[in-house]
Structure 1
Amino acid sequence: MKHLFSFLLAVLLAGAAQAQGVLTFDKELHDFGSVPEGTMATHEFRFKNTGNQPIIIANVQASCGCTTPDWTKTPVLPGKTGIVKAVYSSAGRPGVFNKTVTVTSNATTPSSVLTIKGNVLNKEQMKSSLTPQQIAQSPRLTLDRAVHNFGKMEAGQSLTAKFTVKNTGKQDLVLGAITSQCYCVGYKNVPGPIKPGQSSVVELVYSQRKLGEQAEPVVITSNDITGDAKLTLKANVVQDLNGSSMVKESGASVPFK
């Protein structure tokens, strides 16, 4: 009887071990090849659950802050598919890259490593590798204006500036990262690829803590190989916007009662 019980227990444990999801990726390495500096190199790794239990991805961890992961958050049933997306920010990172994302799940193999690699080329390198015809067919980024003045703002306050971006080129325009010396400018929204001849509104968030008159140069990178878009955000930053409004701008003293 004891041997029979041990045998049945072993069968049950074996069956439980076999009742599990299996994470099967179509590939575990993606080579972007040459990537124009300033673009967000994006790839979706597709997988299928080839097991017999649902798969839940608990987390996806990138090997560096330059890579942003995303993934299917809902349970993936047996026979169904999902994705793990890796986005590499190439702005300010010319040269060869090789990055990984680690997928943690309840599958039979609880940890899977996916790899993206490529070679980021700056604008001059890209132009030298293309024919005049290819350059003529490339996208072109045009801004509706080069300067936005917020006027008076409080230190640390976040204000939004809207710019209209038009693609005057022949291929889809893809916006990349924003760079500024103060690290106080970012996207509020990033539009998808802009078709040739089409326009889209880009919202930039400005949050400056340095007091006084400010003029912040900002660069918007893209896949426009002719160059990046440059603009300037201006503001008069004060410590306390409400307090400063109680005195005259001329600097004359105002007695308080």
Structure 2
Amino acid sequence: MCCMLLITRVWSQAVEFIKTTHDFGEVKEEGGAISYTFQFVNQGDEPVQVTGVKASCGCTTPDWTREAVSPGDTGKIVAQYNPYNRPGKFKKSLSMNYKTGEISDGATLYIEGIVQPKPKTIEDELPTRIGAIRLQYKALNLGKITNESVVKKSFQVYNESDSVVIFQVDKSKIPAHVRVQFSPDTLPPKTLGALDLIFDPVLKDDLGFVTDELRLVTDEPEDSIKDLTVMATIQEYFPPMSDEELALAPRLAFDRTQHDYGRVTQGNAVATTFELTNTGKQSLKIRKVKTNCDCAVGELETNELAPGESAQLEVTFDTSGRRGRQYKTITVFSNDPTASTQMISVKAIVD
């Protein structure tokens, strides 16, 4: 065994690289692929055959000397790296395998550097175009908000045309809890502006993920109607509470959080019951019960539970038009300040 180890160690020195790591330094993302050639010398007494080179990432393409490298001659391993859409630091490896006679060995090479991100264009920043106007998305996402007060968020708009664009709002296509302001409402050519969205969650009177349709109108001769979607996830607002106040607060608990209906024949409706309990010290109020599919319905026998009281939540799943594995969620919103949004689920395999 000692002899074998000694032979392997000596033979692994048959291939000697001039360098095993190359630093490209700073490169531009938009500059195209970059490459470096690692050179090695066959220091052994037999030809070296490179049998393969594998890169650690699809962004790196290897190439190598295909013919056998005679003793004393030089071979090469080429590493080509594509920096497009890969800003920041990078370090990639190439695993080289070779044979000398009947003995196999290998080496690992590295390339590294820093990709300077390309300057972003208007098309990059605002990829969605509707007529002459560019936006980031057709969905105006307010993100997570609370129902404490009115929320305002600004979204960039850009006039890509060579003419002035005048904005208006189709009041028949805007809900009462949404207002829109434009800054400016007359947008010069090749100019950035802002669409200010004002959203009143109290007027919306809902919780969880919500959407509304919004229609904007411009004076463009074509594509003057811009239909957008307003999105938000509304959570109940709770003022800061002391530990003593939290100890006296209502608490929502479930007897379980998941139910498996098993195998169900398509077209049948199946039901199960979850038990909710107020384990807190004050009255628990269930604000809403929402499902992620019209095929699932949650019916609660009461919306208010005294301390220690329990209630039944019946969840019915209609399998009509469904097939295969099904997973549906039911979200329960309450005045439990520690967990005002809780989710349970049902699943089934529909045959």
The TM-score with structure 1 as length reference comes to: 0.43
Relative contact order higher in (CA < 8 Å, ≥ 6 apart): 1
The TM-score with structure 2 as length reference comes to: 0.33
Greater per-residue strand proportion: 2
